[in-house]
Structure 1
Amino acid sequence: MTATIARTASDADDAATAPAAPPASSASAAGAPPAARAPRARRRRSPGRIALDLVAIAFGLVWLFPVYWMVDAAFLTSEQLSSPTPTWIPVGGTVEHFARILGDVRFWSALRMSTLIALVVVAGSLAFGVVAAFALSRFRFRGRTSMIVAVLVIQMIPAEALFISQYRMLDGWGLLNSVVGLSLLYLAANVPFTIWVLKGFVDGIPVELEEAAMLDGCSRVGAFRRVTLPLLGSGLVASSIFSFLAAWNEYTLALVTLSADDSRTLPLWLQGFRGQMQETDWGGIMAGSTLMALPVVILFLIVQKRMATGLTAGAVK
């Protein structure tokens, strides 16, 4: 009897001193696999957000429709183009317009002219823009603020207000109907914007990085070339795309300074399809516009990631 009572008391003491078992519900929840857990409720879009999405889609369709119509009309026959009923899908179309353009010597001459001018403008804008942006961002000198204001004011001057003076200047220098002459005018228009864009990128790069490089033995030029310039990649891409498009698509200034038949850019060459005494060649216009836009599309596809970063970043992450 006494032994039984002692054994019962010992068991009670052991049960009292033993750690409490975790609740069954928490243990099962902790040990349950991820697939067995309750799915997270999906976030429901508000009516305002849905309306904004629909508006964005509508704007996108409005923007894409002219591009679609240009490509569609480039493959249509002359009868389909002149028909009052639109042909939305070029079934039974033709590549006659493209073949005629690719066999035209004037197209290749205009393509060469536009390519040379665009490359010169891009290279010159980046060369002058990078140096000027670095100087305005890193150095404090007399007239610095006035130069920044001048860069902004120059961009506000309408290009048409300078046509007469620019024409007389190129005429006096003997640079009419030349790649150099038109490139100089495009550079004067694009360099201020390039400086302003690249200055924002240089401002976002810590100056301590250049100082650390100079402490390691680099010169000022070496620190700029090895540290600052690689970090400006996104800004250089964004600025070069803008300069390329400005030179590739410009029409009015080229019309003023280029009058010879063998020195025309693509926009001027495309004007030749517009009829004066005869019917306008809409098939040639659409095919030429498609070929003219093709290099720009390819360029955007190549640099689209850096382009998006360059337009949104403006600083070192």
Structure 2
Amino acid sequence: MTMLRDQGIILINKDSEISSAAVVAQVRRLLGMKRVGHCGTLDPFATGVLPVVFGRATAAVPYMSEYDKEYRCRIQLGSSTDTMDREGEIIKQAPENFDASKLEDPSYVEQLLNSFLGEIKQQAPLYSAVKVAGKPLYKYARQGKEVERPWRTVTVHSIKLLGIYHREGFELPCLDVLFSTSKGTYIRSLADSIGSKIGCYAHAAELERTACGPFTLDQTVKTADLFDCFEGLGRDSKAFLSASIDEGIVKATLTAFAGFPTQAVELSDAIKLTHGQEIKVFPDDITLDTVTFTYNNVLLAVAGVNRGLAKVKRVFTDSSAEFLREGSIDEDI
């Protein structure tokens, strides 16, 4: 796949105890660019797949934000916290007469977990970045202020119990669970709700995002490794970007649109698209909400198609791009 050197996606395996915004700041420093963003905020305590975009690839974020996601969560039974994770203060504990023997039965646990499959309603956690009146909920929480938290409807596509095990220092077991969910699902809230339904309370002890849309954990890189490369190149951002592209660390912007309808175009139409102009490449009976248009495997633009006419929504390639000026051989259409 042809790579443009002024945009792309770096898949970070985020470490625990660092915010998603801090990861973006790190990549901004590595690339020497201001135009850097991320898709799908991870809680500071969470780890795993965090797509970081730069240059014109930042325009893909609204589409990437619609991705389904996969998480592996260790749910510690026996206590709930005010943050619904290990970072918070314990607010409830399992009753003394709770029968823990049923928790050793995987079939019982699986049946209970499966009751959360499908469309469910979740209230935003008090300690979250969701904004109310322009202010993140966690700020209200830190000030001890009560505020009406919004609800949202999400979908849990699948739940797989990977194991039941005991952690040192905890009387009740920990559930190792893999969730596949729609965008906007709070896994911390799921852990809390699962504990309430069992009757012993629970919180998320560990949380790892294993997939974000088409991007998976095995494609990611640690920021520490990126900084090792950066230092080895004399802290030269241009050399670092070039090396990262050559090593496959930087993914093409087009990879963000895996699964979307794609249409290759000829040079004349490619130039029109980069200027935001309409083109006619489909029959009159074709209407599509979102189509990616490419030339020589490079993403040019995203457009909607109405009665065969493509109207550009976002442009990803400048009309002065070298590969357009070269007039190289068109893709197979």
Shorter chain as denominator, the TM-score bin is under 0.3
Greater C-alpha Rg: 1
Higher relative contact order structure (alpha carbons within 8 Å, sequence separation ≥ 6): 1
Indicate the structure with greater helix content: 1
Indicate the structure with greater strand content: 2
Structure-1-length-normalised TM-score: 0.21
